[in-house]
Amino acid sequence: MKLLHIYTFLLLCFVINAQQTDRVDFKTAQANIGFGDLKQNEISGTVLYTFEIKKHTDSIYLDAKNFDSVSYVLDGNIINNYYDGNHIIIKHPFKANTKHTVAVTWKTRPKKAMYFIDWKLLEGRKQIWTQGQGKYTSNWLPSIDDMNDKIEFDLTIEFNKDYEVIANGKLVNKEIKDYTTIWQYDMQKPMASYLVALAIGKYNKSIAFSNSNLPLEMYYYSEDSIKFEPTYRYTKQIFDFLENEIGVPYPWQNYKQVPVKDFLYAGMENTSTTIFSDAFVIDSIAFKDKNYVNVNAHELAHQWFGDLVTETSGTHHWLQEGFATYYALLAEKQLFGDNYYYWQLYEYAQELKEQDLAGSGTSLLNPESSSITFYKRGAWVLHMLREKVGDAAFKNAVKNYLEKHQFKNVETNDFISEVETVSHKKLHDFVEKWIKSTFFNYDEALESLKKSVFIQEYLMVDCEAYTSKCNDYINSGISNEAKVKVVSQLKNRLTNEAFNNPLKVRQTLAKTLTSIPLELKASYESLLKDASYITIETALYNLWVNFPQEREKYLNQTKNIKGFNDNNIRILWLTLALVTEDFEPENKSSYFNELTNYTSTLYDFETRQNAFMFLNQIKACNEFCKSNLKEATKHHNWRFSSFAKELIKE
CA dihedral over 158, 164, 169, 173, signed as positive or negative = positive
Average pLDDT over residues 237-261: 98
pLDDT tens, position by position, 475-514: 888 999 999 999 999 888 899 999 999 999 999 999 999 9
DSSP character for 80?
A: E
Residue-level pLDDT at 6: 45
pLDDT(209) > 90? yes
3-state secondary structure 384-411: HHHHHHCHHHHHHHHHHHHHHCCCEEEC
The CA distance from 420 to 498, in Å, is 51
pLDDT in tens, 146-171: 999 999 999 999 999 999 999 999 99
How far are the Cα atoms of 42, 272, 310, 398, 429 from residue 419, in angstroms, in the given order?
49, 28, 18, 8, 14
Share of the chain above pLDDT 70, in %: 97
- Asked whether the domain spanning 314-452 has the same topology as the one spanning 203-303, the reply is yes
What distance lies between CA 351 and its chain's CA centroid?
Answer: 19
Strand partners, 111: none
Phi, psi of 333 (to 5 degrees): -60, -40
Q: What is 203-303's CATH superfamily?
A: Neutral Protease Domain 2 (1.10.390.10)
**All residues at 6 or more sequence positions from 121 whose CB lies less than 8 Å from its CB, including other chains:** 601, 602
pLDDT at 7: 45
What mean pLDDT is reported for the chain?
95
Structure confidence at residue 13 (pLDDT): 52
Backbone angles phi, psi at 547, to 5 degrees: -130, 75
Q: Are 462 and 401 in contact (CB under 8 A)?
A: no
Domain boundaries, the chain: 1-200, 203-303, 314-452, 504-649
| Tens-place pLDDT, residues 290-308 | 999 999 999 999 999 999 9
Q: Are 364 and 435 in contact (CB under 8 A)?
A: yes
* CA-angle at 48, arms to 42 and 50, nearest 5°: 145
Nearest alpha-carbon partner for 28 in 197, 188, 173, 169? 188
Does the pLDDT of residue 5 top 50, yes or no? no
What does DSSP assign to residue 95? P
How many Cβ atoms sit within 10 Å of the Cβ of residue 159? 20
Q: What is the C-alpha to C-alpha distance for residues 106 and 45, in angstroms, rounded to an integer?
A: 6
Check if CATH label 1.20.1050.10 holds for domain 314-452: no
With beta carbons less than 8 A apart as the criterion, state whether 484 and 473 touch: no
Q: Rounded CA gap, 480 and 410, in Å?
A: 41
Query: How high is the pLDDT of residue 617?
Result: 96
Q: Mean pLDDT throughout 82-91?
A: 96
pLDDT digits (tens, 9 = 90+) for 548-597: 999 999 999 999 999 999 999 999 999 999 999 999 999 999 999 999 99
How many Cα atoms within 13 Å fall on the side-chain side of residue 172?
A: 12
Q: How confident is the model at residue 468 (pLDDT cuts 50, 70, 90)?
A: confident
Q: Is the dihedral of CA 74, 79, 85, 89 positive or negative?
A: negative
Taking 60 as the threshold, does the pLDDT of residue 347 lie above it?
Answer: yes
Whole-number Cα distances in Å, 329 to 301, 440, 647? 10, 19, 37
Q: Give bridge partners of residue 369 from the DSSP assignment.
A: none
The reported pLDDT for the residue numbered 18 is 55
Task: Check if the beta carbon of residue 411 is closer than 8 Å to that of residue 316.
Answer: yes
Q: Please list the residues that pair with 208 across neighbouring strands.
A: 216
Backbone φ and ψ for 112, nearest 5 degrees, come out as -155, 170
Q: Cα(115)–Cα(634) distance, rounded to whole angstroms?
A: 13
Predicted model pTM: 0.95
pLDDT of 48 higher than 70: yes
**Would you identify the CATH topology of the domain 1-200?**
Immunoglobulin-like (2.60.40)
Residues above pLDDT 90, as percent of the chain: 93
The CA distance from 266 to 273, in Å, is: 14
pLDDT at 2: 42
- What integer pLDDT is reported at residue 212 of this predicted model? 98
- The reported pLDDT for the residue numbered 474 is 85
In angstroms, the CA 155 to CA 583 distance is: 57
The b/e string for 407-426 (b: 16+ C-beta within 10 A; e otherwise) is: eebbbbebbbbbbbebbeee
- Sequential DSSP letters for 8-66: HHHHHHHHHHS--TTTEEEEEEEEEEEE--GGGT-EEEEEEEEEEE-S-EEEEEEE--S
Confidence (pLDDT) at 17: 52
- What is the C-alpha to C-alpha distance for residues 104 and 48, in angstroms, rounded to an integer? 6
Are residues 201 and 38 in contact, defined by beta-carbon separation less than 8 angstroms?
no
Report the C-alpha gap between 32 and 157 in whole angstroms: 6
Q: How many separate helices (H) and strands (E) can be counted in the chain? A: 25, 21
Question: DSSP string spanning 173-234?
Answer: EEEE-SSEEEEEEE--S-B-GGG--EEEE--EEEEEE-TT--EEEEEE-GGGGGGHHHHHTT
